[in-house]
Structure formats: structure tokens, C-alpha cells
């Protein structure tokens, strides 16, 4: 028996269910924002038709109106959330499975054929750090943490001073995606960058040394939020002095990476509102670092062990994910280049084949792809267009 549940009450219950799933905060925000829009669209749709918006009344028209409120590149997330909500509604007996199938129809995720992902080569990492630091030391510290920990941005921006142990060269990283802690070694490269950043951070906050600041405020964020005081220059407001907020997490860190990519002269795909480097951001740094580490370790310990170790560093579930991450299409290009000057399976050359008593004669020039058979007793003089070999 189907229960006639008003859409507002059902979405409120669905919110509680999402909260009980212990999703990451960003995932919950995505789900709930989509459901808020769906409720708004549904109420408007039903108001035009003078019907009460029950869950069991969700029709193909309602779903179509909902998806039309999104652009193509955001409809995939909306489809994922809508399927989740409707499956939950079926379990709660708020809608019949047949009505769900009719409402969604044959909708599928939209495939995107964007440009190949970019990889910053290791020899340009130092240049990238210099470009990031031009705006503020904070940006350089952020890029250094991304490059030398290979963590996700959600993990980097939550590191606290007490989690960063310079004496032991270890950092405690909370993996929000998997809800667990891991310990990461602070390499020499990152140690050098953090010595500079923490000294600047302590001085900015009025402490004589990083140790004094870390002792007094262990719960301060290693990479706090940065804002700029606006100042008026000839009537135009521009960014002035940067201000750190030690207890607030960073925001909009994608733009730090986009500025670095632009500074490196990397051509990027144009998005909405003139935004460049569409699809490139903090994951570009994580991918680039993983690729560079894999190539470096391959020369030291071999490609198989290198792949396993890089996968562990990235905190991936399996090696397949890591292969896609470091750029399996780059491996294909390297293979193609190698095949241009090497035999595919090694030296397997054999004597010329005999077919029907004749010998296959290789051709050169434009007729290379055409085979020719020299019959027994035929003249030794080559035919026109065929060179003797």
C-alpha cells in the first residue's frame, strides 16, 4: 500500500536519512541542495495544475522540469541524487516502483569529452611554487602541501598545527573520504617549504617562533583562511594586505591552481563566465605529483613496485584507479613512440615465406602495402614502379 506523503515531509525525512549515512559534509551539501531545488520545482509545477505535491504524484513532467533547471554539465549530479531519493521513497512505500521507472525513463548520465587532463612536469614544480608565492606566501604553502603530500584538498585544509610534527617529520592526515587517520612522512622538500611558511605565519600572528605559536595554539589550522582588505585606489577597490584567520578553513583553493596554470603558460579550456582551465584545479597538482613520483620511483625500484607505492601514497583502493590517475593514455603515447623504431615482439625475423612456389617481394614507396609474388622462371628485371631488392 502506497502512503500519500507530502513532498516537503518526505524531503525532511530524507535529510535525516542522508545525515545518518555519515557522508562527507560536501556530499551532504550536494544532495540537500539538489533536493531543495527539486521541492521548489515540484511545488511550482503542481501549483500550476492545482494539485497537492505528494511523492506518489511525481510524474515524468515533474522530473523533466527539474532537469531542465540545470545545465548539461550539472545534470549528472542531479540524476544521481534523484535516483537516490526515489529509491529511498520506494523503500518507504511513498511511491510505486513502476511510477519511478516511468518518471525517470531511460535517462542516463551525460558523457563529457573534454580535453585530456594536464600534467605539470616535475621540472616545472619549482617554477609553479614561485608563481604561487607571487600573490601571497599562503598560496605557495598550499601548493607545496599539495605537491609533497599528494593529499586531497579536503585533507590538506583541515590539518592543524598539532597534527604537523616537524621534530619527527610526520603529519597526521584525516582522510575524510574514508573516515580514518593516516600518518604521512614530511619529505625534505616539504620540510624546507614549511620552515619558511611557519616562520612567516608565526611572525604574522605576533609570535617569536613557530614553536611558540604551535604550543600556544595547537588547534589552529596549518593553512588558515586568507582574505584581503580592500583599499580604494582612485575610486577603484583592489586587494590590499592579506589577513589570516587561523580557526577558519581555506576557501576557493581551486583558483590558486588556476592562477599557477595560467602563469606557467598552459592553455586551458574556457568555461562559463570566461573561466579558464575548465576541469583543472587541485586534482591537477595531485595527478601531476603522482605521475612524477611514479616516473622517479620506476628508475629506482621498477614500475610494478613504483605503481603499488604511489597507489598507497594516494590512498587509493586499487591499482586500476592509480593507473587512470597517473595517465594511462600517456603510457599509450610512450608505447606508440617506441613502436615506431622497434619490433613489437622482439627479433622474430624468419626467412622469406614461400607461397605457391613463389617468394613474397616487399615493396617500397607508395605501394608498400601491396604484396607481390615472383613466380618461378619470371624475369629478374623489376616491373615498372617496383624496385629490385
Q: pLDDT digit string (tens) for 227-259?
A: 886 655 565 555 567 889 999 998 888 889 999
For residue 375, pLDDT over 50 is answered with no
**Residue 242 bridge partners (DSSP):** 228
Task: Answer yes or no: are the C-beta atoms of 286 and 314 closer than 8 Å.
Answer: yes
Of 268-277, 360-369, 376-385, which range is least confident? 376-385
What mean pLDDT do residues 200-213 have?
94
Residue-wise pLDDT for 125-178, tens only, equals 999 999 999 999 999 999 999 999 999 998 999 999 999 998 889 999 998 877
- Per-residue model confidence (pLDDT) at position 388: 40
Task: Answer yes or no: are the C-beta atoms of 110 and 72 closer than 8 Å.
Answer: yes
- Per-residue model confidence (pLDDT) at position 236: 59
- Per-residue model confidence (pLDDT) at position 94: 94
- Per-residue model confidence (pLDDT) at position 163: 94
Residue-wise pLDDT for 34-78, tens only, equals 999 999 999 888 777 667 788 998 989 999 999 988 876 678 888
Instruction: Give one word for 115, left, alpha or beta, with left for phi > 0 and alpha for psi -120 to 50.
Output: beta
Number of residues in the chain? 389
Give 376's pLDDT tier (boundaries 50, 70, 90): very low
- Per-residue model confidence (pLDDT) at position 373: 43
For residue 111, pLDDT over 90 is answered with no
For residue 118, pLDDT over 90 is answered with no
Residues 6+ apart with CB under 8 A from 45: 53, 61, 62, 65
What does the DSSP assignment read for 141-199? HHHHHHHHH---HHHHTT-BGGGEETTTTEEEEEETTTTEEEEEE--HHHHHHHHHHHH
- Per-residue model confidence (pLDDT) at position 99: 92
Give 357's pLDDT tier (boundaries 50, 70, 90): low
Q: How far is the C-alpha of 308 from the C-alpha of 319, rounded, in Å?
A: 7
Show the cell assigned to 318.
Answer: 586499487
Using DSSP, state whether 239 is helix, strand or coil. strand
Domain 7-104, second-level architecture: Orthogonal Bundle (1.10)
What mean pLDDT do residues 280-306 have?
91
| Beta strand ranges found along the chain (DSSP E) | 164-165, 170-175, 180-185, 224-233, 236-249, 354-355, 358-360, 373-374
For residue 350, pLDDT over 90 is answered with no
Among 146, 182, 184, CA closest to 165: 184
Q: Domain map of the chain by residue range? A: 7-104, 122-252
Q: How far is the C-alpha of 211 from the C-alpha of 217, rounded, in Å?
A: 10
For residue 179, pLDDT over 70 is answered with yes
Cα separations (Å) of 17 from 10, 37, 41, 77, 365?
A: 10, 18, 22, 18, 70
Count Cα atoms within 13 angstroms, Cβ side, for 83: 11
- What percent of the chain is modeled with pLDDT above 70? 81
* Helix, strand, coil percentages, rounded to 5, for the chain: 50, 15, 35
- Per-residue model confidence (pLDDT) at position 378: 47
Among 249, 248, 278, 242, CA closest to 262: 278
For residue 289, pLDDT over 90 is answered with yes
Buried b (16+ CB within 10 A) or exposed e, 8-28: eebbeebeeebeeeeeeeeee
Q: How far is the C-alpha of 53 from the C-alpha of 44, rounded, in Å?
A: 9
Within 10 angstroms of residue 156's Cβ, the number of other Cβ atoms is 23
Between 325 and 218, whose confidence is greater? 218
Give 383's pLDDT tier (boundaries 50, 70, 90): very low
Q: What are phi and psi of 182, to 5 degrees?
A: -135, 160
Amino acid at each position: 500500500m502506497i502512503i500519500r506523503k507530502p513532498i516537503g515531509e518526505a524531503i525532511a525525512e530524507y535529510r535525516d536519512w542522508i545525515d545518518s549515512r555519515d557522508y562527507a559534509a560536501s556530499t551532504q551539501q550536494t544532495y540537500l541542495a539538489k533536493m531543495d531545488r527539486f521541492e521548489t520545482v515540484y511545488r511550482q509545477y503542481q501549483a500550476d495544475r492545482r494539485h497537492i505535491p505528494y511523492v506518489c504524484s511525481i510524474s515524468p513532467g515533474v522530473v523533466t522540469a527539474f532537469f531542465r533547471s540545470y545545465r548539461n554539465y550539472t545534470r549528472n549530479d542531479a540524476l544521481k541524487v534523484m535516483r537516490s531519493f526515489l529509491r529511498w521513497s520506494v523503500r518507504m512505500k511513498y511511491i510505486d516502483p513502476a511510477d519511478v521507472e516511468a518518471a525517470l525513463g531511460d535517462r542516463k548520465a551525460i558523457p563529457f569529452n573534454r580535453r585530456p587532463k594536464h600534467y605539470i612536469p616535475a621540472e616545472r614544480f619549482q617554477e609553479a611554487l614561485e608563481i604561487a608565492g607571487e600573490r601571497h606566501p599562503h598560496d605557495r604553502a598550499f601548493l607545496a602541501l599539495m605537491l609533497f603530500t599528494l593529499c586531497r584538498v579536503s585533507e590538506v585544509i583541515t590539518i592543524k598545527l598539532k597534527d604537523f610534527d616537524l621534530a619527527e617529520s610526520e603529519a597526521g592526515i584525516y582522510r575524510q573520504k574514508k573516515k580514518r587517520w593516516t600518518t604521512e612522512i614530511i619529505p625534505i622538500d616539504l620540510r624546507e617549504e614549511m620552515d619558511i611558511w611557519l616562520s612567516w605565519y608565526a611572525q604574522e600572528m605576533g609570535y617569536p617562533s613557530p614553536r611558540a605559536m604551535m604550543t600556544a595554539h595547537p588547534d589552529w589550522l596549518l593553512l588558515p583562511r586568507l582574505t584581503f582588505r580592500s583599499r580604494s585606489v582612485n575610486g577603484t577597490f583592489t586587494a590590499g594586505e592579506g589577513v589570516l584567520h587561523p580557526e577558519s578553513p581555506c576557501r576557493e583553493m581551486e583558483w590558486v591552481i588556476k592562477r599557477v596554470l595560467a602563469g606557467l603558460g598552459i592553455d586551458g579550456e574556457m568555461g562559463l563566465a570566461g573561466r579558464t582551465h575548465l576541469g583543472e584545479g587541485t586534482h591537477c597538482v595531485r595527478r601531476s605529483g603522482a605521475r612524477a613520483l611514479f616516473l622517479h620511483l620506476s628508475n629506482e625500484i621498477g614500475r610494478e613496485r613504483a605503481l603499488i607505492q604511489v597507489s598507497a601514497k594516494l590512498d587509493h583502493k586499487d591499482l586500476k584507479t592509480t593507473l587512470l590517475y597517473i595517465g594511462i593514455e600517456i603510457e599509450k603515447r610512450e608505447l606508440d613512440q617506441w613502436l615506431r623504431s622497434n619490433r613489437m615482439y622482439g627479433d622474430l625475423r624468419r626467412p622469406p615465406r614461400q607461397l605457391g612456389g613463389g617468394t613474397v617481394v616487399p615493396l617500397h614507396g607508395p605501394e608498400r602495402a601491396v604484396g607481390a609474388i615472383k613466380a618461378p622462371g619470371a624475369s629478374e628485371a623489376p616491373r615498372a614502379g617496383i624496385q629490385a631488392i
